[in-house]
Amino acid sequence: MSPRFLSFVESGRSAPSRETVLALAEALQVPFRERNALLMAAGFAPLYPVSPLDSPEMLQVQHALGRLLAHQEPYPAVVLDRQWNVVQTNRAAPRLFGHFIDLSQLPEPRNLLRTIFDPAGMRPWVANWDEVARTLVQRVFREAVSGVPDSRTLALLDELSELGGVPAWRGAGVGEASLPFHPLRLEKGGDRLSFFSMVITVGAPTDVTAQELRVEALFPADEVTERFAREHLAE
């Protein structure tokens, strides 16, 4: 494609073909959901299906998620959608969060960002709040598909920032750390827990839902937390 042709497409003087739209989207690493929007704006049918997680098309993904969540026990794990809504958990996750807050008081759908940032949620129990808040905001951008956060997620960050103590979207770095990760430190009464997370995504997806799913798995960052998980989070 010549720069002249691309300029004509951008200004509306030339109508791109379906192949042109897909080539540009691939070169720019546009997420599947936005590729569908581009195709429709150009007058073409969307290419990528958006299958509900409980649909037959997603059956193997469902089985894989179930195995991942089960094998993560007794450590917490949650499945998140693109807006950080919790769509599935293992048994250890509600046991951990329920140790600190009343989960029945959380609005539906339960959202991990809101749960952590809200003063009525986990925030009072996060010992290293400033560090966690900065890294979590940065993760919204870093872990978004192709680095494109969902507009409703950004609106949620705006809403949460009004609560105070929430850094700007693109705030300063998190600084140096003595560990190879930034842990989530939780304290309540005599319990002092420290977790770090790993994120798992679907490789080579062809479906919008599959591309946007990710598993947030928490692991103990010290022996005290390891012991707590085995004594209090196991079945």
pLDDT (0 to 100) of residue 179? 57
Q: Between β-strands 86-89 and 214-220, what pairing exists: parallel, antiparallel or unpaired?
A: unpaired
Order of all β-strands in the sheet with 214-220: 86-89, 77-80, 214-220, 191-201, 184-188
pLDDT (0 to 100) of residue 168? 64
DSSP 8-state class, residue 17: P
Domain ranges of the chain: 3-41, 56-233
Q: Degrees (nearest 5) of the Cα angle 53, 56, 61? A: 50
- Distance of CA 12 to CAs 5, 16, 182, 210, Å? 10, 9, 47, 33
pLDDT (0 to 100) of residue 181? 77
Q: Is 141 helix (H, G, I), strand (E, B) or coil?
A: helix
Q: Per residue of the chain (235 residues), give pLDDT as tens.
A: 889 998 998 898 999 999 999 999 999 999 999 999 999 999 999 999 999 999 999 999 999 999 999 999 999 999 999 999 999 999 999 999 999 999 999 989 999 999 999 999 999 999 999 889 888 888 998 888 888 888 999 898 888 888 877 766 554 444 445 556 789 999 999 999 999 999 999 999 999 999 999 999 999 999 999 999 999 999 7
Half-sphere exposure of 167 (CA within 13 A, CB side): 18
CA distance 201 to 39: 25
DSSP 8-state class, residue 15: P
Architecture of domain 56-233: 2-Layer Sandwich (3.30)
pTM: 0.89
